[in-house]
Chains A and B, each alone.
Chain A
């Protein structure tokens, strides 16, 4: 008995083999819905269609102060990231290498990591002022904890046999650190850097949105209060793109340096 198999139309078949294509179509459909809703259903004071947003991007950049604000925000992000990684690495090594220190201070670190830091945002502004310093500081406090935690974990997960082997071959403490502990910790460290980048992005952007005199937070407030959803969406789009690029860079670095990981 011949079983009738329904012949899939060729177009659907090629879609079924290419999920990435369907993904693009889904995104296109969402954009289309946004376009229709913004044009016909929602008051233009509150929402702009994507066509208008993209067309007006040059006007966003022409607004006096926006390019400088974007540069300032990028500067704050970079400085905060470098500081968070450096401080996190130093503290992580200090805490992770000595068992007694680790047992005493790691719980405190975890407690601080879980604290809702956004409650002390006004405090940071009072302490550091409304300039770039408070944004950098708030970014650092968000980014430093993942680095500490991952560095401590990386140092701890060392197989004892590696340490015994190195010591039995007469390695000094410095040599053990440089050739056994440090390379072993690097993959975790890079994972920590990826989390640090997310944290720094969150911290700096939160502080910017709270109070800003020359950063992008100033302009998001300006566009909101002027009921200018076109420029607001354009600016948010640029910032979102910046966040995606920064995250991708750190993720690439992590994949590159973690390649030799033994699992």
Chain B
């Protein structure tokens, strides 16, 4: 049976082969530079962007929108989720509603948000908050709603107040599911914000990529694409790490 070494070798070989094919396609095989830039040019542009700090303005815009959107959807989602989860009846009323709305691609409403809030950060924050609200509220309802009744009865019989019940029983019991919801909300918020910046914006990382595409500056655009993917992967890894850490115990 081939061991782990063989599969790693195949992976490395595959990826290296891709880069080689990319390089050859642009230098030897005559693929138009306007379609596919030279990987060396991409690397040069990337180091130039990083060294000159050109990315900082757009990065600030995007991360600022992300922070605002996530703050709104997290507080709103957890609060509303907790309030709804207090009664089995209201869970049954609202849960299918949220699930049904979440199944529509809410990005459809972006034109409406742009009409309402303009091309600035507000429309991106509104869309990001709207989209990331749903996984958070759905997971919060699931988390608080499925706490073992035995814990609640035991705590109440020992004289726990509402606050004590929440802090020492409900919150720890529900937090794994809520943390998953928060992670999903964060990831979808990031994707929605980059997406809405691509579609209709005046600033931000998504807009920068579109701007470079329209200017046909392929190498620089590729460099920014690599940069944005790296940022997204890093943020997702950090959030997943936080989720796992919060679930420890």
B-contacting residues of A (Cβ < 8 Å)? 16, 19, 22-23, 26-27, 46-47, 99-100, 103-105, 107-108, 114-116, 118-123, 125-127, 198, 201-202, 205-206, 209-210, 220-221, 223-224, 227, 229, 232-233, 236, 239-240, 243-244, 247
Contact = CB atoms under 8 A, between A and B. Distances in A.
Contacts of B109: 236
B206 A118 contact: yes
A19 B107 CA distance: 29
A61 to B, nearest CB: 18
Contact of B236 (A114, A119, A223): A114
A252 B143 CA distance: 27
Chain B contact-residue range equals 35 or more
Interface of B: 1-2, 4, 6-8, 10-11, 14-15, 35, 89, 92-94, 96-97, 100, 103-105, 107-112, 114-116, 190-191, 194-195, 198-199, 206, 209-210, 213-214, 221, 225, 228-229, 232-233, 236
B108 A239 contact: yes
A136 B21 CA distance: 26
Given A122-B198, A198-B103, A205-B105, A26 B93 contact: yes
15 contacts: A19-B93, A23-B96, A47-B116, A108-B11, A116-B194, A118-B194, A118-B198, A119-B225, A119-B228, A205-B107, A209-B199, A224-B115, A232-B112, A232-B115, A247-B103
Given A19-B92, A19-B93, A209-B199, A240 B104 contact: yes
Question: Interface on chain B toward A: helix, strand, loop, or mixed SS?
Answer: helix
Contacts of B191: 116, 118
Nearest to B192: A118
Given A107-B11, A119-B232, 16 more contacts: A19-B89, A27-B97, A104-B6, A105-B11, A116-B232, A118-B194, A118-B206, A122-B198, A126-B35, A209-B107, A221-B111, A227-B115, A232-B111, A243-B104, A244-B103, A244-B104
A132 to B, nearest CB: 18
The DSSP consensus for interface residues of chain A is helix
